Amino acid sequence: MLDAKIPHGPIESKWEEYKGHCKLVNPANKRNLEVIIIGTGLAGASAAASLGELGYKVKAFCFQDSPRRAHSIAAQGGINAAKNYQNDGDSVYRLFYDTVKGGDYRAREANVYRLASVSGNIIDQCVAQGVPFAREYGGLLSNRSFGGTQVQRTFYAAGQTGQQLLLGAYSALERQVALGTVTMYSRHEMLDIVKIDGKARGIIARNLITGELERHFGHAVLICSGGYGNVFYLSTNAMGSNVTAAWKATQNGAFFANPCFTQIHPTCIPVSGDHQSKLTLMSESLRNDGRIWVPKKKGDNRKASDIPEDERDYYLERRYPAFGNLVPRDVASRAAKERCDAGYGVGTSKQAVYLDFAAAFERYGHIEAGKRQMHNASKEEIIKMGKEVVVEKYGNLFDMYAKITGEDPYETPMRIYPAVHYTMGGLWVDYELQTTVPGLYSLGEANFSDHGANRLGASALMQGLADGYFVIPYTLGNYLADEIRVKAIPTDHPAFVAAEQKVKDTLNRLINIKGTKSVDHFHKKLGKIMWDKCGMARNEQGLKEAIEEIKALRAEFYKDVRIPGGLNEMNPELEKAGRVADFLELGELMCIDALNRRESCGGHFREESQTEDGEAKRDDENFSYVAAWEYKGPSDYVLHKEPLVFEEVKPSQRSYK
């Protein structure tokens, strides 16, 4: 049985109770304890800065040339926190409730409540760092709405919130680098965990500039390497985003939880052809003011501006009147797919729907006219003023859309379609964020913990910073308090030698295949299998086919992949090959997990399990658990279950109507 180590007592006091009784490390001992952090996005950078500030000796690793290039920078819309600045009824409990409900009752209550309770502290921390959040006229921080909520709790910095938050964390990290508490290893990739006496004691990393393998000791290792959405090839993730760090942890005994829980984001620029290597996200914040619609007539080829109002189907407002365009991501994505599959899609591919700001231009224009005492303003003047307001709130997003599509979204509605975005699955961790391997922790998107089967918008940034700034400094100390007598283990220890040899053998095997097909050839093939059979909808037959197809593709990969260049040099194709090899194993596990979970919940939609009106139908009696998979070897996994107990929020059929 998996022990989640959830503290006893009422949910609102569990975290305070934990902090009041966890073990501490005195400052002099912290200077002798070494911590390795893999990844320097929001979770990794905030953890490195916080632990460095406390006095630990921190080594931080990223495969980019700078922590500023972490994929957290791509988050656009905002970060949730229950500060109730709008006085619209928000509270810690309501944020907790919305997150558990939004995740379709597949998250651990205690972790989610802790996340909600520290959310306000994150905003204060970031403001103190100088993050330029949007503000109201009177000076208070501004909020906007996101999907799955009926309050305004999302703090934002135009359409570049992730970038600004990352710059705040990066500044804190670089301060510690300057003070000498953090050593930064950029252009390094972790390729294995080193375990000694069952505990994580270090890593093997490859210097991506020279190709040299390096051994690094740590009293603990933190995996903060993000999600695995690139298993689908086409996703909103940066092309470098991968699962390798988490997968090496899995191969060393850390259980991988809920791998089939992937999130499809409803607001992305549609695929334009086979030439694409990634997809572009248009922030969910656009659903705050934009209205989503399709023509009422099938196959309608008229321009959007030529379709009159009464011939438009605002299908989210029609189907979900209580939430309208702000239903959660999984609901909005499936609804868009259903309309397109039924023949109502727009654009040349017919795989898109409209996101229209015309009503927002008018609404904001009237407000501006009132402010300026322009009682007889013409419609043109009103729309012009409304557009100026939208430019201020979303301007960089509109500019990005125009650059990519060549269309002016101020004049014609955006076309959007769902795409793979975030992953709720990840390394299984307990309440302390520790995996099933002692001394090995996982933070942010790399762990499974807080979002259940579907993440609400603006909650990824919240979780990454909560884990790094406010959770790991306590929980890691609780573990390291028992490690203060352990001296730094020399890296010529047999366990380091064996781990490095294993990495060498793997790299040699890959480079010596000398096949005929590129790494991207196999990645694209894997992505197509995953999208077609483990994407927005899954069924038993398709998943069984996918498992066999992935096995065959993996066998072909190891026979026929072509990797130019050598081992001991900069070799991006070799980097990619290692990552795709890991995706080829993870993809199979995702399909195994999806096949095992014979219910629909959140982003996991099994066609055999749906309500009469096509909504996800959960099976709480049989599947109210976290599926934690133990790796025994390729295609060999053992399922462990962590039962989910709901004491505060009773599971019910999700309804946004």
State the Cα torsion 465-467-471-475 to the nearest 10°: -150
Helix then strand then coil, % of the chain, to nearest 5: 45, 15, 40
Joined tokens for residue 560: 């026929």
Beta-bridged to residue 262, according to DSSP, are 423
Q: Identify the CA nearest to 208 among candidates 565, 581, 580, 583.
A: 565
Which contiguous run of DSSP H or E holds residue 478? helix 472-480
Joined tokens for residue 587: 């993809």
Given the structure tokens 């605002």, which residue do they identify? 314
* Number of Cβ within a 10 Å radius of residue 171: 14
Given the structure tokens 């982003």, which residue do they identify? 603
- DSSP for 333-364 reads HHHHHHHIIIII--SSSS--EEEE-HHHHHHH
Active site residue 562: no
**From residue 56, how far is each of 35, 46, 49, 220 by CA, in Å?**
7, 14, 10, 11
Relative to beta strand 199-207, strand 291-295 is unpaired
Taking the alpha carbons of 239, 280, 453, 647 in that order, is the dihedral positive or negative?
Answer: positive
Which contiguous run of DSSP H or E holds residue 545? helix 540-560
Given the structure tokens 């795989």, which residue do they identify? 351
Q: Identify the CA nearest to 48 among candidates 216, 201, 198, 220.
A: 220
Secondary structure in 3-state letters for 599-655 = CCECCECECCCECCCCCECCCHHHHCEEEEEEEEECCEEEEEEEECCCCCCCCCCCC
Taking the C-alpha atoms of residue 597 and residue 618, their distance in angstroms, rounded to an integer, is: 10
Choosing from 329, 554, 579, 606, which is the catalytic residue? Answer: 329
Joined tokens for residue 99: 């997150």
Burial class (CB in 10 A: 0-12, 13-18, 19+), 111: buried
| First-to-last C-alpha distance (Å) of the chain | 38
Beta-bridged to residue 206, according to DSSP, are 189, 213
Given the structure tokens 């694209």, which residue do they identify? 524
Catalytic residues: 329
